[in-house]
Structure 1
Amino acid sequence: MPMNSAVQLIGIDWGSTCLRIFLISSSGEVLATRSNGRGISSINGSANDYEQSLKELAGDWLEEYPAIQILACGMVGSKHGWLEVPYVICAAGDVAIASGIRTVSDGQKRQVHIVPGLAFMPANVPPDVMRGEETQIIGALTLRPDCHKKSCLILPGTHSKWVHIEHGKVLSLSTHMTGELFAVLCQHTVLGRLMSQSQNALDLSVFLRGVGDACSGGHLGLAHQLFAVRTLGLMEMLPAASLDDYLSGLLIGHEIQAGLAWRLAAGLAQAPLLLIGDSSLCGLYAQALSYCGVDDVSILSNTAPIGLWAIANCCEKKLLRDVCK
């Protein structure tokens, strides 16, 4: 990959389990991508460990571009990250996020700028937060300006986010621990004992059966319905290889039922609906939404790099405005 003067930014998406870095041009193009498993959960929390992890993956870029801007998002800014960066309170858009950035220096006195997460602090229900997803959201809104005025964004994952956007700002959000629940139930409960341990292709019909049971049997309660994963296996009404697909459908189905009710209460039923994240997981959510009668859904994958680029540009504009005051 030829290095050239158009290089503007090293963008970093540093989560709990994975470190991803992007070499980004002045036009927002991703020139190169690298990743490894050095997420913050594998780092002991010392500044030296963060410096070394970044150097291992991006050392040649840092040497080639010693003055390049470095912008990081994700759990690297959490309480257990390189530097804890306070949450920005919703409603918040790119300007508020850029204003909340904090900076840490590495051993070479290079500045690493860290994007804050967002906190939703309603008066009548418990608070909600995100770290990393705010950058994906800014990236999505950069690519889809039609979603600025009013939209509902869904970011599936370990902790799925349903997000209310108005006028380019995150107004509110709702988190569902769907992915984490799936992993815990498969690995640490009685439900996993009957499941096949080999990797099998998704059985879409069984997944949608789980979605359908969540939709039609929600009155029974999730705790009750979860036990069906075991009984369907015990009675050989579902093969072991498909039990995890049924469980996935059940959990995602319950999330979607709650999410659609939240969307309706927020007045977003007619607003654009956008899925953001891993294309295969987003595709699964699109299938589940379609089963629930919602078909007008768009999908965007890997919007973190364009989000980092947009936030970096917002920082530069803000700096110029502050200097000109």
Structure 2
Amino acid sequence: MNRLLAVDWGSSSLRGALIDAGGAVLEERSFARGILTVAPGTFPDVFASCFGDWMTPDTLCLVSGMAGSKQGWREAPYCSCPAGFDAIAAGLEWVEPGRIAIVPGLSIDKDGIPDVMRGEETQIFGALQLLGLDHARLVLPGTHSKWVTVENRQVTNFSTWMTGEFYALLRQHSILARMMPADEPAPDEAAFGRGVTHAMASAGLLTTAFSTRTLPLFDRMNASALPSYLSGLVIGEELKSQTLRRGESVVVMGAEALSARYGQALALLGVTVQRVGDGATWRGLQAIAETLRKPFNQAA
């Protein structure tokens, strides 16, 4: 296989990149065809309509993300942590043997409580490659943020934080929503920082959240600043549970605006940040493909 078709098939979107043998991205495509839009049994047809012309005889396709879930193309069982490139490669679910495979997610069990990820593992491995790291602490902000520990190029620990979802619930469906503008105002860095600082110094979100109501009640914060303040509260709540040390470095991967907020919050704690862009997914899939080729290269 001289070319790689790297595919990120999530819940709401479908992205792909055609990568040559040297690792250069030749072309990218994106479609609003996440797995939630695909009827059961039609995944091969959707794949062919989006990428069929790229699937030449010398092309290997690796698919990461929710395509490997129970609702996806084909379920790819989770790999248990600790897990690295080799474990992921060994756990590939082959749709067409030697040609199209789905990347498994990762699972971890702590005191009988499981946690899982799908798609993020590929971004993590890509970030390690791009930054040249064997050990790292990473955060992938989002609706459900992931905090990840990597040791010797293996994911040894991770946890999921429903920070984005709790923000949305409080912002839109709680009594706090009545104090805030319906539209999303421009980010207010000062209000966000104040929220982070208050969260770090307080007992927990169940008490700090109410300050989003009382500050405007006493004219101590404008309504337009409240969404940023609330964002600071929930992100600060997440950060204070991570036992971060001043001077530590954290890799932040995610959407630009949200990653910038995490960067600001981490800076308040004296933590430095390394940023990785969208190319991490492609680099991660490429690394998995290279792992598959190793036995042949070594045999030669």
Q: Same fold (TM over 0.5)?
A: yes
- Say whether 1:276 aligns with 2:276: no
Aligned partner of 1:226 in structure 2 is: 209
Aligned partners of 2:248, 2:82: CA distance in 1, in Å?
18
1:193 Cα deviation from its structure 2 partner: 3.0
Aligned partner of 2:154 in structure 1 is: 169
1:212 Cα deviation from its structure 2 partner: 0.9
TM-score normalised according to structure 1 size: 0.84
Structure 1: tracts of 5 or more residues without a match = 1-5
Distance 1:155 1:286, change over 3 A: same
Query: What is the identity, as a one-letter code, of the residue corresponding to 1:252?
Result: I
SS of 2:196's partner is helix
Contact preservation (8 Å) 1:12, 1:20: yes
Aligned partners of 2:219, 2:290: CA distance in 1, in Å?
57
* 2:201 paired residue among 202, 209, 216: 216
Aligned partners of 2:259, 2:275: CA distance in 1, in Å?
7
Aligned partner of 2:46 in structure 1 is: 53
Deviations 1:197-225 (A, max 9, x none): 224221111111111110112x2x21121
Distance 1:252 1:67, change over 3 A: same
* 1:253 paired residue among 212, 233, 236: 236
Aligned partner of 1:130 in structure 2 is: 117
- Say whether 1:38 aligns with 2:33: yes
Aligned partners of 1:51, 1:131: CA distance in 2, in Å?
20
Q: State the 4+ residue runs in structure 1 displaced beyond 4 angstroms.
A: 269-272, 318-321
Moved more, 285-294 or 91-100: 285-294
How many residue pairs get matched?
A: 298
CA RMSD after TM alignment: 2.4
SS of 1:73's partner is strand
Contact preservation (8 Å) 1:214, 1:254: yes
Aligned partner of 1:3 in structure 2 is: none
Q: Give the share of equivalent positions with the same residue, in percent.
A: 42
Aligned partners of 2:83, 2:296: CA distance in 1, in Å?
18
1:316 Cα deviation from its structure 2 partner: 2.3
Contact preservation (8 Å) 1:100, 1:116: yes
- Say whether 1:68 aligns with 2:59: yes
1:36 Cα deviation from its structure 2 partner: 2.6
1:24 Cα deviation from its structure 2 partner: 1.3
Distance 1:193 1:22, change over 3 A: farther
1:248 Cα deviation from its structure 2 partner: 0.8
Distance 1:307 1:236, change over 3 A: same
Structure 2: tracts of 5 or more residues without a match = none
Query: What is the identity, as a one-letter code, of the residue corresponding to 2:105?
Result: G
SS of 2:200's partner is helix
Distance 1:233 1:24, change over 3 A: farther
Aligned partners of 2:38, 2:211: CA distance in 1, in Å?
39
Distance 1:33 1:230, change over 3 A: farther
Contact preservation (8 Å) 1:151, 1:271: no
1:235 Cα deviation from its structure 2 partner: 4.0
1:301 Cα deviation from its structure 2 partner: 1.3
Distance 1:32 1:183, change over 3 A: farther
Query: What is the identity, as a one-letter code, of the residue corresponding to 2:86?
Result: V
Distance 1:236 1:41, change over 3 A: farther
TM-score normalised according to structure 2 size: 0.90
Distance 1:38 1:191, change over 3 A: farther
SS of 1:157's partner is coil
Aligned partners of 2:168, 2:157: CA distance in 1, in Å?
27
